[in-house]
Amino acid sequence: MSGYDDRDGKIWMDGQLIDWREANVHILTHALHYASSVFEGERCYSGKIFKGVEHSRRLRNSAQLLDMEIPYSVEEIEAAKYAMLKANGWTDAYVRAVAWRGAGEDMGVSAARNPVRLAVAGWEWGAYYGDAKTTGAKIGISRWKRPSPETIPVHAKAAGLYMICTMSKHAAEAQGFSDALFMDYRGYVAECTGANIFFVKDGEVYTPLPDSFLNGITRQTVIALLKEKGIRVYERHIEPNELEGFEQCWLTGTAAEVTPVGQIADYTFEVGALTRDIAQAYEELVRR
């Protein structure tokens, strides 16, 4: 495929559908220089965006945490998503909504007078980790750590928080891994660069407490599915040395969906029955 800037199609931008190649911003856009941007990643299955309203609410909340007010309601954002999908003829696609401080009267750290802009794009996207859904993803460990909530709004899906994700994933891929696992600022297991993580031991599930990273919508969905099946779920701090004792592992995220993990650094995991079962349950849920 051609680059993401050179495709046919439509992108919704600031209230109207425009040609894909015309969806541009000025070089002095505040977000380009100061990371004043928030976004959402969503998937549309058979014409319906899974938990779209929850994503739109989180987008607005993320913006407010960055001292931005998106000039569109949840209902207007939802309408924009479906207008974009319809214009491109898609019923199964990945949806990306992004809000940012644009170019305006200010071009310093402070930019309260600059407009907050919104765009909604999409593309057709298969499995995020390739064939890992059957073989299990191989994960490295990042040299970077998730920061303290005292240093940055960790519960915002903000562009600036992904800087170390890009760096960590590049380093992991250079070592033959498909992703990297973060520890948090205290040294506890946190998440991967674009997905939350779960572990299985003796038929019970363990997942890191999201007190220094985003509590993913897919993460919350999978926890609910597990509890519906009567499986005990522990949300708690997880020490790195506990990895050796876990039997199964999987990742969750809009892009990742539910992806098994076969290896984290020197630790190995089986793609076991519970992992396969919850992946199938999630697949069925999103297509209802």
- Residue 36: what are its φ and ψ, rounded to 5°? -85, 75
Please answer whether residues 64 and 40 qualify as being in contact, where contact means their C-beta atoms are separated by less than 8 angstroms. Answer: no
Instruction: Say whether 157 is catalytic.
Output: yes
Candidates 51, 133, 157, 169; catalytic one? 157
CA distance 228 to 3: 42
Hey, which residues are catalytic here? Answer: 157
